[in-house]
Structure 1
Amino acid sequence: MAVFGGANLGSVSFSSHLLNQHSCFLSCPLRLLPSSSSNRTSLLCVVKSFSGSVTAGTDTSSDQSLLRDTSTDAGPPRMSTDWKLAKAYCKSGDTFEGEVEGFNGGGLLIRFHSLVGFLPFPQLTPSRSCKEPQKSIHEIAKTLVGSTLPVKVVQADEENKKLILSEKLALWPKYSQNVNVGDVFTGRVGSVEDYGAFIHLRFDDGLYHLTGLVHVSEVSWDYVQDVRDVLRDGDEVRVIVTNIDKEKSRITLSIKQLEDDPLLETLDKVILKDSSSGSPSLSSNNGDTIEPLPGLETILEELLQEDGIEAVKINRQGFEKRVVSQDLQLWLSNTPPSEGKFVLLARAGRQVQEIHLTTSLDQQGIKKALQRVLERVP
């Protein structure tokens, strides 16, 4: 394929953006937790652990922690009213201050009127773990018992007695309004997955309030097969914000876009000189000596059908030491045109080919023409 230019929370499932940085629900024996009243006891039943990532829409009801509040002085009418209130909070997105009554292997237990809600550790603001990275999450949880946290209701399922809370989402509106596309942050790697790395963003107050995702394709201009070969938990990195999805409370980041893509320059800059001969490992097109990269010939033929494109010719090719992508990639060089000729670079594997475009179009016109061609070519 040619590339140009470079919560559903119906059950208790979460998207991978919500459940990252720590393992989630771990098995735990039954535990009696004292309530604020001496004659009130809340029974928390935590059953079955699970491993692996949890995706949005996956029914994990058989593996999920079940929160059952059996307060002796809070009868069915009171609890039913509080479930309705919890559902209202979930629908409105409003936050409330909840007192931390305890914790288990997977998260905090937070009082919501006559109910006890569950806040998974990954739903704590990242500033808590980043502030004292030497402490385990359970040591941090112990210090939070008795304190109050701003939380948002993520799920309120009365039938299955599941009340899931998030501090991270409660603080999202406050800090996300100060984040814009193009902003550069110093961040700390929170966790590394097969598809990318979650980065905690450090704000001007020195704390890490929000978390974004660097996709594997945005880690480096070099080909990255395993993100763990480049990034590790706790690493400090510089990232740039490339997208903000306010509806889903997600921030997309890039590391490589803080550096110039070598293919945005000329082939002479891309291909290093041979140390033995002192000359670049380039070859010029003398006749038909350069075989077009797979798929490139069809693209160039289609490009000639576009208005304003007068001629296309593979001029030179070179071989890099690194492999960025096995797919065919096309890049329009930012070098000024010479005698009406623009430079288009094509790369697949280690090969890079330089194509000269003779055209009356400007750069934007060429980009639009290429986009139309790529939409036609399978």
Structure 2
Amino acid sequence: MFTAAVGSAPGLSFIPLLFVADGSFNHTLITPFVNLHVSSTCCRKSPLKRSSCIVKVSVSGGAKTEGVGQTEGVREDSPATDDAIRQSRRSADWKAARTYKESGFIYRGRIEGFNGGGLLVQFYSLLGFLPYPQLSPSHSCREPHKNIQEIAKGLVGSRIAVKVIQASEENRKLIFSEKEAIWEKYSQQVKVGNVFEARLGSVEDYGAFVHLRFPDGFYHLTGLVHVSEVSWDLVQDVRDILSEGDEIKVKVIQIDREKSRVTLSIKQLEDDPLLETLDKVISQDNHIGSDNLSTSDDLNIEPLPGLDIILKELLQEDGITDVRISRQGFEKRVVSQDLQLWLSNAPAMGKQFTLLARAGRQVQEIHLTTTLDQEGIKKALQRVLERVP
């Protein structure tokens, strides 16, 4: 037994719109409308001059539900669309929106319009909002000559796959993300170590956002190249090296599937100068006949100018127990007259890391004994270099 709002119109029998036991409206339509037994009625006239009643009905024989949340069957010219019914329908749709958010289901909605901040997307009887930053990069990359307003205008009337990321009936906020929906579809195709053709998006102080091109030719996902992953050289301003719209190659170095994030690198597609050890400039047998340099007696090595102060300061850092120069070479070419100190990315031998100090033609290999990892050593070096004039 249900309570229903009943409307009649010429050529149409009546349409039951059911209220569930807790009093909320469930706009599931019952079809075909057979064996509906009316137990009591209370009728009134609607503004449309069609009779409408609230009745008690029981349903039997061949009833078929069309699905919760579907509004296509409700006749807008029916008295069932009075304020109370509309409010009940909206309440049910808000519940559906919360269900989509909690479950992570993808919804395909029709784009009804746009404004300065994003697209307006129909969600059953509700109108939700898709902010421009939550659009897939494929739209702007496909039509790079158009601004976001022109792209939005071209999308009106089409359907779009989105996820509900906010559903607050109290605050009347229904927010969608196409990026989240696209992530679910394409992220499994991305693995650490993959190399992608890509297009640069916005460039910020902390790095650059990069759109990844997939085999279908579209740019579906966006990742971040942190400023530290732009170049092996020191980068003061990312904008000195990268510009929006540039076509580049990037390497995937990290994926956070819970946060839907991809971390990328440009520099790791090039040879890492920090992977060098002195073995690359001094032959293994230490013969002077090397094409690049000659060697000197390890026992008589004098630290490069300014290096002795740096080494003493390193010993003051927590976690560093020993610092010593092991070998020295002389290159035929001049790398730089300034003192350069590099930390090798070569695997540590026990607790020992390798540093390279270079100035002019001289190259000195330094062994650093420490309990720190590479990141800890880099931070210690940075602190020391800030203290040393």
Category of TM-score, reference length = shorter chain: 0.5 to 0.7
Give the aligned residue type for 1:371. Answer: D
Which structure has more RCO (C-alpha within 8 Å, separation ≥ 6)? Answer: 1
Partners of 2:84 and 2:150 lie apart in 1 by 32
Structure 1 residue aligned with 2:147? 136
| 1:312 paired to 2:324 | yes
Deviation of the 1:103 alpha carbon: 0.4
Q: State the SS of the aligned residue for 2:107.
A: strand
Give the counterpart of 2:307 among 269, 287, 292: 292
3-state secondary structure, aligned to 1:177: helix
1:122 — aligned with what?
Answer: 133
Letter in 1 for 2:354: L
Give, in angstroms, the shift of residue 106 of structure 1: 1.3
Correspondence for 2:203: 192
**RMSD of aligned residue pairs (Cα, Å):** 4.4
Name which of 173, 186, 192 aligns with 2:184: 173
Indicate which of 365, 376, 380 corresponds to 1:355.
365
CA distance in 1, matches of 2:156, 2:375: 61
Contact 1:346 1:352 in 2 (8 A): no
Please say if residues 193 and 253 of structure 2, whose CA atoms lie closer than 8 Å, have aligned partners that are also in contact. yes
* % same residue: 51
Deviation at 1:136, TM superposition (A): 1.7
Structure 1 residue aligned with 2:157: 146
Instruction: Say if 1:189 and 1:197, in contact at 8 Å, map to a contact too.
Output: yes
SS state of the match for residue 87, structure 1? helix
When the two structures are aligned, how many residues end up with a matched partner? 288
Which residue of 288, 312, 331 corresponds with 2:344?
A: 331
TM-score (norm 2): 0.62
Distance change in 2, residues 1:329/1:91 (3 Å): farther
**Structure 1 residues 159 and 139, CA gap change in structure 2 (3 angstroms):** same
Larger Rg: 2
**Counterpart of 1:224?**
235
Alignment of 1:253-292 (within 5 A): 253-266=264-277, 286-290=300-304, 291-292=306-307
Cα 1:304–1:154 change in 2 (3 A) is closer
Structure 2 contact 213–220 (Cα < 8 Å) conserved: yes
In structure 2, which of residues 354, 363, 377 is the aligned counterpart of residue 344 of structure 1? 354
Q: Following the alignment from structure 1 to structure 2, what is the Cα–Cα distance between the partners of residues 152 and 373?
A: 37
Structure 1, gaps ≥5 residues long: 1-34, 41-70, 271-277, 358-365
Partner of 1:203: 214
Say whether residues 1:157 and 2:159 are aligned partners: no
**More strand per residue: 1 or 2?**
2
Deviations for 1:214-255, whole angstroms, at most 9, x for unmatched residues?
000000111111111111111001000001111000100000
Q: Which moved more, 1:125-134 or 1:288-297?
A: 288-297
The amino acid of 1:296's aligned partner reads: L
Question: Do residues 91 (structure 1) and 102 (structure 2) align?
Answer: yes
Aligned-partner SS, 1:223: coil
Residue 216 of structure 2 aligns to a residue in which SS? coil
Take 1:352 and 1:160, find their aligned partners in 2: how far apart are those partners? 68
Deviation of 1:356 after TM superposition, in Å, equals 4.9
SS at match of 1:221: coil
Q: Deviations over 1:264-310 (max 9, x none)?
A: 1245979xxxxxxx998x9998454434366533556989958xxxx
* Residue deviations 1:64-84 (CA, integer Å, cap 9, x gap): xxxxxxx96863222222112
Query: In structure 2, do the counterparts of structure 1 residues 72 and 304 end up closer, same or farther at CA, with 3 Å as the change threshold?
Result: closer
Please give the TM-score of this superposition, normalised by the length of structure 1. 0.63
